[in-house]
Amino acid sequence: MDVDIRLDLITSVGEEIVTREDLKSLLETKTKPVAYDGFEPSGQLHIAQGIMRAINTNKMLKAGVHFKFWVADWFAWMNNKMSGDLEKIKKVGQYQVEVWKACGMKVKDVDFLWASDAMDDKEYWKRTVNIARNNTVQRILRCSQIMGRSEKEAISAAQIFYPCMQASDIFHLKADITNLGMDQRKVNVLAREIGPKLGYWKPVVVSYHMLMGLKKPPEGVTDPVERAIAMKMSKSLPETAIFMMDSPEDVKRKISKAYCPEKHVEENPLMEYMKYIIFESFDEVEITRPEKFGGTVSYTSFDELAEDFREGRLHPMDLKTATAEHVNKLLEPVRKHFSKGKAKELSDFVKKQGTTR
């Protein structure tokens, strides 16, 4: 595949790329660069972690990237997920892989690697300690948002290791590209800075967009990254998140109550779902409405829909109905997959654990 086409594919995944020039150089010199994404097994997945992650991963694979998923079970343990029960965490990790399989991620082309398998590696810990030796506590604390924590929030001594280990993961996995959310930006930039100092490389950072929750955006948060983190879909606010195992009724109920101001395209969660999930999954989006309100209308691009909404030709209620309908179409194969066998056992187990931060 032509380098420019591969570059465009990866660029469509990255809300921010540090740097585009480095990425182009990498694609020109390496036919199969390695990219990684990591996740803490920590309860049910919502659609940003499920469908949107599958979309992004498949694009990276299409661009000729060798993709590795880092199942961060030890990190979830350090972050006190599943009440610190490592065996439960591992089971949740198995469930999450099943979700991606059910929603269309090309899992056969992805390496799923478990952090716990690296914990006996002497070189892993040597590198991690070297990263810690070359950074101050203050710098490491500034990376605490990668754990879903703020700098002002009390963290455990174990959690101090977390950013150093995450930076170390990049070099352990031989990752040329870090493909994580914008909330992971600080630790990825730290890895770019520390890599050459320790004799490693400078990874390219491809940070993907964090899908909004269904609530109204916060006031008074002006920093772009901090604002994105404050607005993102969160498991800790279940009524503002669409989970992969939600029933059709759950999806309709949550979306019907969603923040969706008339004629506002920016910072509108329903417009985000259309842009990042629905138009990435369907060639055409049909919105059914009575003739007196304009009749049924079809769109083949997000820009067309956005223009109609901005001009008031598309009402928020019609947008909500269409969003719920299309999200449910995408979730139906997942519900079917988890209706029987081992998948159902894993789903039942995870549901009993509830949602965690």
Distance CA 321, CA 299 (A): 15
Mode of pairing for the β-strands spanning 177-178 and 110-114 = unpaired
Q: Which domains does the chain have, with CATH numbers?
A: 3-208 (3.40.50.620), 246-337 (1.10.240.10)
Write the single-letter amino acid at 71.
V
**SS3 category, 307:** helix
Q: What are phi and psi of 34, to 5 degrees?
A: -100, 130
**pLDDT, tens digit only, all 357 positions of the chain:** 799 999 999 999 999 999 999 999 999 999 999 999 999 898 889 999 999 999 999 999 999 999 999 999 998 888 888 888 889 999 999 999 999 999 999 999 999 999 999 999 999 999 999 999 999 988 888 887 655 555 556 677 777 888 999 999 999 999 999 999 998 999 999 999 999 999 999 999 999 999 999 999 998 888 888 888 889 998 888 999 999 999 999 999 999 999 999 999 999 999 999 999 999 999 999 999 888 888 999 999 999 999 999 999 999 999 999 999 999 999 999 999 999 999 999 999 998 876 554
Contact indicator for 186, 145 with CB cutoff of 8 Å = yes
pLDDT of residue 144: 74
Distance CA 210, CA 233 (A): 8
94 membership: H or E segment, kind and range: helix 86-102
